[in-house]
Amino acid sequence: MTDRQFVDRGPLSGFRIVDLSENMAGPFATMILGDQGADVVKVESLRGDQIRRTGSGTDGMAAYFANLNRSKRSIALDLLRPEGQAVLQRLFDGADVVIQAYRPQAAAKLKIDEASVRTAERERLVYVEIVGFGKTGPLAGRAVYDHVVQALSGFAALQTDAATKVPSLIRQGVIDKATGHVAAQSITAALLRRARTGIGQSISITMLDVALNFMWPDAMMNNTAFSVADPRPPAANTYRLTPTADGHISLMVLTDPQWAALHPALGLEPRGDRTHPEVLREARERLAQMPTGEAIAALTAHDIPCAPVVALDQLAEQPQIVANNALRVFEHPVLGPIRQPVPMPHMPGMDIDGLRPAPRLGEHSAQILAEAGYSAAEAASLIDAGVVAVSLPR
C-alpha cells in the first residue's frame, strides 16, 4: 500500500485493519476500532456481507448492517479469482491487522488462513481469527451462530425458568458482541506489544471460550471450588421482573440495609424474623397494586436499586439516556437520518462528528485500489473484468 496520509481521528489513527469478517462478531470489533480512529478496510465478496440483506433497510443497506459497520471503507472483491487474490495480497502488505471469522476450511480455500497470510515480510502483522467451537475437537469446523453457542456453553441452561424448568435463549447476539469486545481489546493489546517488540501477534478467539469466560464469575459460583459444601441459590435466580399495576420494574435487594428498608418503603410491617423469600413475596404482592411511577419513587426514597422496564421505542426519550447524550442522530447517505448510540468510550480525541457512515458495497473500491498502487487503467480493467465491484454515489 502507498504511504498513508495521517489524519487524527482518535487514539488508533494511523493503524490500518483489513477486515474479512461478516455477520456480527468481527464487524462489531472492527467498528469499535474504526470509531477509535483506525482505518478499517472491509473486504466483501461481490454479493456483500449477508447482513446487508437482513432485516429492515433499502438498496443493499439494512439497518442491522449500518449498526455494525460504521467507520469503515468497503472494497468488493472476487477472492475466487487470481486477480482478486493479487489485490488482497497488496492489501495485506499494507495492513497492521488482518481479521477474519471464517470456518478453517473456508479460510484456507480463500487463502486468508494464517498460513497463507503470514510471510517473513509480514512479521509485524497482527493476525486475528474468530472461530465458533474451536480449531480442534469433535465440533471443530462446524457451522455456528450465537444462539447455538448459547446452548452448548450453558447460557441457555442459565435462563431456565424456575417454574417450568424450560431453558431459554437470550434474544440478543450477546456472545457475538462479547466476542467482538474481546477481539477489539486483544487487537489493541497486540499493537501495544508490537510497539515494544516490533513483532506482530497471532490471535485466535473462540466464541465458545468467550461465552464460558463471560458467564463463569457469577453463574458458576457453585461449580468453581471442588469442595463447596454449602451451595447457594444461583445469582441468576434474582434476575426477575416484578409486575406493577401498569407495567414492570426491576429491583435488586441484596444488602442487609436494603432488606431492612424494603417493607417500610412499601408501607408494610417490618420484616421481623421472616425469611428473605417471604419478605420478597409480600413486597411483590404490594408492588403489583402500585403504579410504576409510585413504586419507583418509594423504592428510590429508601435507596433500593430499581428501574422501570422501558419499551424499545421509548429509549430515545428516557430522561437519563437523554442526559447522558447516549443516542445521536446521524445522517446516512442511503438510509437518511438514523439513530445510533454514541461510540464508547468517551475520551478526548474521538472524532464523533467525523465518523464515516456504514459504506455501500464497494463504495471505496477505486480509492483503495489506488492506495494499493494500482493505476487508474489497471483499476478500470479489474472493474471491467468483474474482479472488483464499485458502488457509484446515488
pLDDT of residue 6: 67
pLDDT of residue 229: 64
Q: What percentage of residues in the chain have a pLDDT greater than 70?
A: 95
Question: Is the pLDDT at 237 greater than 60, yes or no?
Answer: yes
pLDDT in tens, 254-310: 888 999 999 999 999 876 766 778 888 999 999 999 999 999 999 999 999 999 999
Ramachandran angles phi, psi of 383, nearest 5°: -70, -45
pLDDT of residue 95: 98
pLDDT in tens, 62-95: 999 999 999 999 999 999 999 999 999 999 999 9
Q: What is the mean pLDDT of residues 304-328?
A: 97
pTM of the complete model = 0.93
Question: Is the pLDDT at 373 greater than 90, yes or no?
Answer: yes
For the record, the C-alpha cell of 45 comes out as 465478496
Ordered by where they begin, the domains of the chain are 16-215+326-389 (3.40.50.10540), 248-308 (no CATH)
Q: How confident is the model at residue 2 (pLDDT cuts 50, 70, 90)?
A: low
Q: How confident is the model at residue 235 (pLDDT cuts 50, 70, 90)?
A: low
pLDDT in tens, 132-153: 999 999 999 999 999 999 999 9
pLDDT of residue 163: 84
- Plot region of 362 (φ>0 → left; ψ -120 to 50 → alpha; else → beta): left
Q: What is the mean pLDDT of residues 27-37?
A: 98
pLDDT of residue 314: 97
Who's near 144: CB < 8 A, 6+ residues apart? Answer: 132, 133, 207
For the record, the C-alpha cell of 375 comes out as 493505476
pLDDT of residue 234: 67
Who's near 9: CB < 8 A, 6+ residues apart? Answer: 37, 351, 354
